[in-house]
Amino acid sequence: MSFYWDYATNKNISYRTIGHRQQFLDSEEVLRDRWRGGISFGYRPNFYSSHSFGLHYSSTNISDSVSEHNPNYFFDGNTAQSYVALSYSFTWDFRDIVSYPLSGTYFRIKADKIGLGIYDDVNIFIANARYSRYFDLGKKFYFGSSFTAHVSTPSEQPYYNYSGIGFGRDFLRGYERYIIEGQYFAINKNSLKRLLFSFETDISEVVNIKQFSKIPFSAYLTLNFDHGYIANYPGYSENNLFTDKYIYGGGLGIDIISFYDFVMRWEYSMNIEGEHALYFNLFAAF
């Protein structure tokens, strides 16, 4: 069983999205303040699977200037949103290395009911599922593929509660600079890897602690291809370049892996619009 509580104030916030790029307001006064808290219960019946149940509360207030710039931030120009939410998740993790898997299977499903009738500010149901497989092909080659599906209802939602591609681990390579919001989406990410080198550096003369006496380093050359479909929110004409169509992206990359979950990724990727750039990340793609 675990508890959490947090309070945050912001003088710079994203108040809307245009062309899949977040627009920000900046002020000397507080634009948004938020209280959140909750309790969760975890149950792990065996080594590979786990369940989590949660009850959460959130209360958020924004300044009048935010609602004037985007009346749909909380619906109808409202400046406050409160809700109680329930959440459930199930995870089955059979990967060899959690931070950078090379073989095994991962499955997770998560459901959230935001709004339980105690407040009338929001009433949303969200479900998200991910399935990933990792294969050791031999001769230093590896392949991984991950499928994610997401749905949220109803179709009319406040901007503050929008979901989509570009939040957390739900992203497509080549679209890292964009937030592609949508009510439904399905994406597939793929990487073919080739081990370039792997060695350990002994630093026991400098750090006389057994757990830190050796630093491992590994490097992989990757060929990546991601694709998917995102269904736009009804009437959301400001963001329709990458929605309601099949999109894809990918390219080449180099991954550096070291101890204690340290991952660095350099990837040169291109998207469906022909835009290309070098991206740097500090976690595995999936």
pLDDT digits (tens, 9 = 90+) for 72-111: 999 999 999 999 999 999 999 999 999 999 999 999 999 9
Residue 217: how many other CB atoms lie within 10 Å = 14
| Residue burial 29-39, b: 16+ Cβ < 10 Å; e: rest | eebbebeeebe
- Which architecture characterizes domain 2-281 according to CATH? Beta Barrel (2.40)
| Calpha distance 227→246 (Å, rounded) | 7
Across the range 185-196, mean pLDDT stands at 98
- How far apart CA 47 and CA 39 sit, in angstroms, is 23
**At 202, is the secondary structure helix, strand, or coil?**
strand
pLDDT of 212 higher than 90: no
- The pTM of the full predicted model, rounded to 2 decimals, is 0.91
* Distance in angstroms (rounded) separating the CA atoms of residues 220 and 79: 49
How far apart, in whole angstroms, are the C-alpha atoms of residue 165 and residue 189? Answer: 13
Please say if the pLDDT value at position 215 is more than 90: no
Whether 207 has a pLDDT exceeding 90, the answer reads no
Per residue in 232-241, pLDDT tens?
Answer: 999 899 999 9
> What gap in Å lies between CA 269 and CA 228, rounded to an integer?
16
Strand-pair partners of 8: 34
Q: How does DSSP classify residue 235?
A: T
Residue-wise DSSP of 124-171: EEEEEEEEEEEEEEETTEEEEEEEEEEEEE-S---GGG--EETBTTB-
Mean pLDDT over the full length of the chain:
95
DSSP letter string, 17-71: EETTEEEEEE-SS--EEEEEEEEEEEE-SSSSEEEEEEEEEEEEEE-HHHHHH-T
Distance of CA 61 to the CA centre of its chain: 24
Task: Kindly state the average pLDDT of the residues 146-168.
Answer: 95
- 205 Cβ neighbours under 8 A, 6+ residues apart: none
How would residue 40 be classed by pLDDT, with cut points 50, 70 and 90?
A: very high
Q: How far is CA 103 from CA 96, 178, 220, 282, in A?
A: 6, 30, 15, 20
Q: Give me Rg for the CA atoms of the chain.
A: 21
Tokens of 39: 């309790």
> For 152-162, how does the pLDDT look when each residue is reduced to its tens digit (9 = 90+)?
999 999 999 99
pLDDT reading at 209 higher than 90? no
112: Cβ–Cβ under 8 A, 6 or more apart, which residues?
85, 86, 87, 124, 125, 126, 127
